[in-house]
Amino acid sequence: MMPSNRDRAMRTQNIDGLIAAERGRIFAQATPEQRERLRAAEKSREVYRAWNAVCAGTREGNHVTGLRYLPDSNELLVYLDDAVWTQELTMLREIIRGRMEREGVSIDGFLFRTSKRGYGASSKRVLRPELPTTNPAVPHAELSDDEERNVNERVAAIEDARLREAMKKAMKASLEWKKGSDALKKP
């Protein structure tokens, strides 16, 4: 028998005990189908609670636009605001799952999806400025013999010939671009 409002008002109660008693009362009155739905709702709540304990307030969590627990497959569908973050969280999925298990929730996996354009994780988030469609042309600048020799010496220790050649080309292109860029800055 439930205590009357007058009895409750006369003593201090632990909220956890009150919640447990109310849950028990609801389950006792429910049909088997209703009990199953209640258990599914509790499982969803636990999954969301664990996700928030692990990801809320993190840089990754700031890019989440939506969550949906899929009880049939025991997976969490996570929507993100950019494809880069979708890829990032896909790579972190096992770490996140392990941390959620430490929170007491075991799921079979994640599905990461990119939200449609216009759905943002936060209205406070500053949008990226549009990048210019054309970059100012940097004049090509040839490297001196000393600069060429320096590049060759720096890559000489690389044993793999293809890697050595790729590194040499990259270093040479970077130095040529920097030299041309510096020439633009001089009056």
Which of 98-124 are b and which e, b meaning 16 or more Cβ less than 10 Å from the residue's Cβ?
Answer: ebbeeeebebeebebebbeeeeebeee
Strands (E), the chain: 64-70, 75-80, 109-114
Please provide residue 112's backbone torsions phi and psi, each rounded to the nearest 5 degrees. Answer: -105, 130
* Residue whose pair of structure tokens reads 């079979």 in the numeric block: 108
Residue 82's contacts (CB-CB under 8 Å, 6 or more residues apart) are 63, 114
CA distance 47 to 71: 10
Distances from the Cα of 165 to the Cα of 14, 52, 142, 168, 174, angstroms: 72, 48, 18, 5, 14
- Asked if 140 contacts 178 with a C-beta cutoff of 8 angstroms, the reply is no
- Asked if 86 contacts 118 with a C-beta cutoff of 8 angstroms, the reply is no
pLDDT in tens, the chain (187 residues): 556 666 556 667 678 788 888 888 888 888 989 888 888 888 889 999 999 999 988 888 888 988 999 988 999 999 998 889 999 999 998 999 999 999 999 999 999 999 887 666 554 444 445 555 555 666 677 888 998 999 899 989 888 888 888 888 888 888 888 887 777 777 6
What is the value of pTM for the model shown?
0.52
Q: Where are the domains of the chain?
A: 15-114, 145-185
CATH number 1.10.1740 is the correct assignment for the domain at 15-114: no
pLDDT of amino acid 179: 82
CA distance 27 to 21: 10
CA distance 84 to 109: 20
